[in-house]
Structure 1
Amino acid sequence: MEQFRVKQEITEPFGESAKRKTISESPVIALDSSDNDSSTYDDKFSSGKRSRVSDDDTGRKSGDGVVLPGGFLDPLPPKDVASSVTNENSAPAQSCKNFWKAGDFEEGLDGDWGTSSGGMDHVRVHPRFLHSNATSHKWVLGAFAELLDNSLDEFCNGATYVNIDMIRNKKDGNRMLVIEDNGGGMDPEKMRQCMSLGYSMKSKIADTIGQYGNGFKTSSMRLGADVIVFSRCSAKDGKRSTQSIGLLSYTFLRSTGKEDIVVPMLDYKKEGQEWKKIIRSSPDDWNRNVEAVVQWSPFSSEADLLKQFDHMKDQGTYIVIYNLWEDDQGQLELDFEADEEDIQIRGVNRDEKNIKMANNYPNSRHFLTYRHSLRSYASILYLRLPPGFRMILRGKDIQHHNIVNDMMMTTQITYRPQPGANQLSKDSNIVAVVTMGFVKDAKSHIDVQGYNVYHKNRLIKPFWRLWNSTGSDGRGVIGVLEANFVEPAHDKQGFERTIVLSRLEARLIQMQKTYWRTYCHKIGYAPRFSKNNMENTEPFLDYSPETSSRKKKAASKPPVSSLKKSWEGPSSPRSTPLNENIHDDDLQTTSNLRHTNGSLYNSTSANKSTLNDLSHSARYTQNPVKYEAEQEHSFNGNTMQIVTHTQSRFARVVENGSTPDLDQLVEENRRLKERLEMKDEDILGDLLHDLERERNRCKALKAQLDEVREKYENLTKEQDSAIDIFADERERRDKEEEVLRKKQKEATATIQDLVQRVKQLELEKIKSQQWSAA
């Protein structure tokens, strides 16, 4: 408790009467001071009273119409506090309901900077810091995630659920947010740490998300201007059960012109079956705390405050965020009306087109709706939920969803970061398993892609888009990984820019490119080929409607190896002399694709040359002169000349000093045709044999099926008969039970009668003895 300081300042409660109550400031937590400062501050204000002023900024008029300044008839404060009281009584700041404009705090509030402790000054935290600190959450749903993290971390203390709901403020009818859980709760010390900046014990606890001690302040102040916390802690470690109330109100600090962040708090301890007050300084300070909390909270009395603990049993936390922020149009940032079972946000994150697409593409629903829907975002917020833990939003459970279930053609890649000098330890367990695949709606060619990157089970980057190609490359590829070796930013909506993160980004981009270029043709995109594969594969032109049919024909052509095998025949023991003369250089085709703009593309296609050799083989045998075929094709407005040189075999024969025997070549071709025809007959015979075998197998399966059906019918009949027997037996047993119950009732009545008779006989016996004695 030495890190906290109890201060006494002066608050001004709201009132409609002309006279205001003189209320000294309640004991509160100052987030910038120590115990020494507390004593200095209390001594400074112990003898001073706050001057009373009117409700408005104008002076009061006397009966003669003379305008008197506010506090004219009030006693003068001591000299040492006169300047401070003057600053305290300045006009309250105007309420601003827009979050991005709420940081315009009133200027000119000069505080007393002369106090010090032991000659050393303490840093003071201005209330404006609450707003500037909360601006780290540019996305309002990220603030909800911080509060869900706090509840999930309480699973180790027995939490089984977290509930987010909307209620109405009884004072003004405005909407308020409620976040509650049944975790371990907070004792008075932990409550003060929660309201302070930078206190966090979770960094020392395994499997917890929070680590900076700043999430509650930033998230609650991002959602609304004020928050009140009710927390109950059960008895443990020899301590009694306690319950505490803390008020962190930006409205209170602005309206009273505070220059320090002060937090009114109330603490109770359980003695027997009653809750007793924990008075830290004096009963007057306690009463001032109660008045401050009641005045600036949605609740009307201390009894109303204590009634909020009815929401929890032995332990838990109940958070109420009110004075929710509005947008430039005067509407709440949070939309409670679009879906009664959801909390959504208005503004640029909400895209009506994506909402309509989510209905048509259910497997891409989370990608299309997580930016504006809390239910959608919370369902993918955690990679794993603890067993038995529930997240409830407006009365309905949030169904946990794993993005892997939205994938098809999945693959897993293990990424092991390289340890650097000052980056990572050489731990072999520091790895990330990347699961990636196409979203199941990828065949519709919608622009869905990105990685869901988790850190210690918490989603940090939802659908992180790394590869921004100019065309359609990368569409449909999504991935999931848990990267515990990179540090998240303090708002948990991104990562710290480090060398490790840069390497991870580069590797993820490479993974996505490789996966896309390997499998994109399976979801309807034109195949992509790298330069290394161009020599072994047929070239593909860019997709266009006019050329799609031609490319499908080109893609369906068999490779060179398959054509050579079909030419030789699988049953031939050795190749013929004609086949021996066919080499890879004979199957070369030089293609010159000349476009209208003058550009030239050269490629080699072994498949086309093979087909040309096969189609013109008869003309080679009949005309042993140099043969050169030139064909011109019109292809999508471009002229393609294919010049096929097929005389290389003939040239080699001539160079050997002999002329080809045409009759021999014709005879060989005839033999080849016969062998091919014979092969077809053999294949047809094999097929017929296989067909007959399949027919016999089908007959056998049919016979087995009939047998199984007959057995099933017999078993069904036996089951029905057994059911009938059981029904008869049950009916007979019920009748017997009814008879036994009647007999039992009769026996009970008989026993009661006998007992009554015995009692009467005993009374008569006693009376007779008394008469005889008399």
Structure 2
Amino acid sequence: MPAALTSWQRDRLCPRFLHTNSTSHTWPFSAVAELIDNAYDPDVNAKQIWIDKTLIKNYICLTFTDNGNGMTSDKLHKMLSFGFSDKVTVNGHVPVGLYGNGFKSGSMRLGRDAIVFTKNGESMSVGFLSQTYLEAIKAEHVVVPIVAFNKHRQVINSVESKASLAAILEHSLFSTEQKLLAELDAIMGKKGTRIIIWNLRSYRNATEFDFDKDKYDIRIPEDLDETTGKKGYKKQERMDQIAPESDYSLRAYCSILYLKPRTQIIIRGQKVKTQLVSKSLAYIERDVYRPKFLTKTVRITFGFNCRNKDHYGIMMYHKNRLIKAYEKVGCQLKANNMGVGVVGIIECNFLKPTHNKQDFDYTNEYRLTIAALGDKLNDYWNEMKVKKHAEYPINMPVEDIQKRPDQTWVQCDSCLKWRKLPDGIDQLPEKWYCSNNPDPQFRNCDVPEEPEDEDLMHPTYEKTYKKKDREKIRIRHLERIPQISTADLLGTTAMSSQSFSSVKESIPRGHLSESVNTYAKKLINNHRGSPQSDPESNRSVAKCVFPFGG
């Protein structure tokens, strides 16, 4: 091992750890998302990120290029090393990354070797994270060769960098300094980063990605599980459900990856049509969650999926980033078609994601949240079922009614702000700008976005079905109360009017009502002692009796 490289070796980690660290990403798109997060985070703040497949020296490569702020060689070293995370919130833009591990785990999950080209306007740097290289030099610890260039394209710190440069040229796909500089030139503008990953993970003698089915997408091929005999996309928790497109299409997954997208993602030359997920539903209503372990309330948005009723459940985000998609709760867990088509959206910043950002730690807070989401989804489903049945008296389930989103929102290709459009606009140009807005109030990129409804204290709809259910229960309860006739009050056997008259005549008038009331009280006491009696029926009997006392 070249002695000059030891200055970059601070981790003292075994090279095998690079693979072990990547195994948390059982689903390959979660590894891709880590690299997108790095470009999205505020310290980079990229406006666009390009994801593509290319061929270099007969190696199939994945490339990730962004137009963010770029990095110095020192910052690049921190990204490629373990134990560093200096991400902070900038102007309200909260970083997704928590542990400083995203690039290492993500890149090494996708392939065995990765090279990073970056420039920040003042300098240019190249870093090399490679399992193949570490095996070739029989390294005992992780070594990361990094070389830096100045504005004049000359190597900085030539004594220290020469060994790193030699290692990169010998063991990477780029055998000359000119080829390295050419990749730096491929980054458009003065700032940005380009990542190239090769020796992609293979599956049955082919890469685990399907690049052929759709030339504008990167897909996971459907596979037959030999153990269960079922087909799936390496998303085991959906084996008995219809897989949403986001499980196997990177384009579909990226369209919902962020609750409010701030970065454009271009996959294989075509822009991803990102969605404002909370605005793209039909029959939208909002509810609030007031957990006892928080001092504030949390908004939940419910609505119906307009694209495919078979894709439903809760979309759980954390700091704007999707963690769990289409998580079924409440009545959706039962095999009775309840809750079909209903999508709920919540930003769970109070929960802690797992390291691969595909689940939450299974804490008591998480369990309480899932239970509450189930109750509130049930409320929404029951309310919509009643409401839409009244609007559409035809015998059609609410999930089968033809729907369109309540609102139309579009993102400006220049400022990346989201704008609400008037109803009735269905066709939009490939590129849309604020200047195209029919609303003159928001026709300029300098105008802020429309403010969100900040009422987090009250639901936006009244749960009338609960009142109706309570009324039905009350009526059924009344129907179960035994009917007590006058004959029941006066004796256990029917008495003729004549015999009653004789009894009446034999009793002084002043004592008649007293006698009846005495008998009535005995009857009530007997009724209270019977197994079928209940407080409601007792009150009803009392109401029937006491008028005789007047």
Q: TM-score, with normalisation over the residues of structure 1?
A: 0.48
**1:257 maps to 2:138:** yes
Structure 1, residues 645-691: CA drift from partner, whole Å, max 9, x if none? Answer: 99959999998969xxxxxxxxxxxxxxxxxxxxxxxxxxxxxxxxx
Higher RCO (C-alpha 8 Å, min separation 6): 2
SS of residue paired to 1:378: helix
Check the 8 A contact 1:354/1:369 in 2, yes or no: no
* In 2: Cα distance, 1:495 partner to 1:127 partner: 29
Q: In the aligned structure 1, how far is the partner of 2:471 from the partner of 2:183?
A: 75
Residue in structure 1 matching 2:397, options 516, 524, 531: 524
Match of 1:408 in 2: 282
Contact 1:451 1:462 in 2 (8 A): yes
Within a 5 Å distance, the mapping from 1:542-581 to structure 2 comes to: none
**Aligned pair partner of 2:84 in 152, 174, 199:** 199
Deviation, structure 1 residue 291: 2.2
Q: Is the 8 A contact 1:452 1:463 kept in 2?
A: yes
Alignment of 1:579-658 (within 5 A): 588=479
When residues 406 and 382 of structure 1 are mapped into structure 2, their CA distance, relative to the original with a 3 A threshold, is: same
User: Residue in 1 aligned with 2:47?
Assistant: 160
Once residues 441 and 317 of structure 1 are traced to their aligned partners in structure 2, the CA distance between those partners, rounded to angstroms, is 35
Query: CA separation in 2, counterparts of 1:484 and 1:417?
Result: 13
Give distance in 2, aligned partners of 1:495 and 1:535: 37
Tell me which residue corresponds to 2:125.
Answer: 244
Shift of 1:144: 1.0
SS at 2:70 equivalent: coil
Q: Which residue of 1 aligns with 2:359?
A: 494
Q: How does 1:240-639 map to 2 (within 5 A)?
A: 241-270=122-151, 274-279=152-157, 282=159, 286-312=161-187, 313-327=189-203, 329-348=204-223, 368-386=244-262, 389-419=263-293, 426=295, 428=296, 431-440=297-306, 447-467=310-330, 468-520=333-385, 522=389, 524=397, 536-537=471-472, 588=479
**2:84 aligned counterpart, secondary structure:** coil
Report the secondary structure of 1:262's partner residue: coil
Instruction: Note the alpha carbon deviations across 1:739-765, whole angstroms, 9 max, x for none.
Output: xxxxxxxxxxxxxxxxxxxxxxxxxxx
Structure 1, gaps ≥5 residues long: 1-8, 11-23, 33-123, 235-240, 356-365, 540-558, 561-583, 589-603, 607-644, 659-774
**Residue of structure 1 in register with 2:13 after alignment:** 125
Question: Equivalent residue of 2:302, what SS?
Answer: strand
**C-alpha distance in 1 between matches for 2:252 and 2:198:** 24
Partner of 2:356, secondary structure, is coil
**Residues 134 and 208 of structure 1, relative CA distance in 2, 3 Å threshold:** same
Counterpart Cα distance in 2 of 1:374 and 1:441: 18
Shift of 1:462: 1.0
Per-residue deviation at 1:226? Answer: 0.4
* In 2: Cα distance, 1:414 partner to 1:321 partner: 44
Q: Is the 8 A contact 2:69 2:192 kept in 1?
A: yes
Which residue, 151, 165, 169 being the options, matches 2:39?
A: 151
Change (3 A) 1:411 1:648: farther
Q: Alignment partner of 2:274: what SS?
A: coil
1:278 offset after TM fit, Å?
A: 1.2
Higher helix share: 1
Code of the aligned partner of 2:38: N
| Distance apart, 1:28 and its partner CA | 5.8
Structure 2 match to 1:219: 106
Q: Is the 8 A contact 1:201 1:211 kept in 2?
A: no
Matched, 1:186 2:52: no
- The structural deviation recorded for 1:487 is 1.7
Q: Distance in 1 between matches of 2:485 and 2:289?
A: 51
CA contact (8 A) 2:148 2:161 kept: no
Distance 1:344 1:184 in 2: 30
CA RMSD between the two structures? 3.7
Distance in 2 of aligned mates of 1:166 and 1:649: 90
Q: Which amino acid aligns with 1:436?
A: F
How has the CA–CA distance of structure 1 residues 252 and 432 changed in structure 2, closer, same or farther, with 3 Å as cutoff?
Answer: same
* Equivalence map 1:1-80=2 (5 Å): 9-10=1-2, 26=5, 29-32=8-11
Q: 1:534/1:217 Cα in 2 relative to 1: closer, same or farther (>3 Å)?
A: closer
Amino acid of the structure 1 residue aligned with 2:337: S
Q: Give the match's secondary structure for 2:358.
A: coil
Q: Judge conservation of contact 2:60–2:198 (CA < 8 Å) in 1.
A: yes
In structure 2, relative to structure 1, the CA distance for the partners of 1:459 and 1:651 (3 Å cut) is same
Aligned partners of 2:268 and 2:220: how far apart in 1? Answer: 15
Partners of 2:372 and 2:324 lie apart in 1 by 16
Distance in 2 between residues matched to 1:246 and 1:304, nearest whole Å? 14
8 Å Cα contact 2:111/2:197 also seen in 1: yes
Which string of whole-angstrom CA distances, capped at 9 and with x for unpartnered residues, describes residues 56-89 of structure 1?
xxxxxxxxxxxxxxxxxxxxxxxxxxxxxxxxxx
Is the CA contact (8 Å cut-off) linking 1:349 and 1:372 kept in structure 2?
Answer: no
Q: Which residue of 2 aligns with 1:209?
A: 96
Match for 1:474: what amino acid?
G
Cα gap change, 1:403 to 1:139, in 2 (>3 Å): same
Q: Is the Cα–Cα contact under 8 Å of residues 147 and 165 in structure 2 kept in the other structure?
A: yes
Q: Tell me the CA shift for residue 510 of structure 1.
A: 1.3
Instruction: Work out the number of aligned pairs and report it.
Output: 408
Distance 1:305 1:411, change over 3 A: same
Pair 276,184 (structure 1): closer, same or farther in 2 beyond 3 Å: same
Q: Assess, with a 3 A threshold, how the Cα gap between structure 1 residues 159 and 345 changes in structure 2: closer, same or farther.
A: same
Measured after TM superposition, the shift of residue 211 of structure 1 is 2.1
Shift of 1:367: 6.5
Q: Which structure has the larger Rg?
A: 1
> Alignment partner of 1:475: what SS?
coil
Distance 2:135 2:340 in 1: 49
- Contact kept? 2:118, 2:124, Cα under 8 Å: yes
Q: 1:266, 1:143 → 2: CA distance?
A: 26
248 and 530 in structure 1: CA distance in 2 versus 1, 3 angstrom threshold:
same
In structure 1, C-alpha distance between the alignment counterparts of 2:6 and 2:44, rounded to whole Å:
31
1:535/1:247 Cα in 2 relative to 1: closer, same or farther (>3 Å)? closer
Q: Tell me the alpha carbon deviations over residues 493-536 of structure 1, each in whole angstroms, 9 at most, x when there is no partner.
A: 1112222222211111111233334444646289xx99997784
3-state SS, counterpart of residue 537 of structure 1: helix
SS in 2 for 1:133: helix
User: CA–CA distance in 1 between the matches of 2:114 and 2:385?
Assistant: 51
Contact 2:313 2:342 in 1 (8 A): yes
Other structure's SS at 2:247 match:
coil
Q: Which amino acid aligns with 1:201?
A: D
Q: 1:254 to 1:319 in 2, by over 3 A?
A: same
1:27, 1:264 within 8 Å by CA — same for their partners in 2?
Answer: no
Question: d(CA) in 1 for partners of 2:73 and 2:343?
Answer: 46
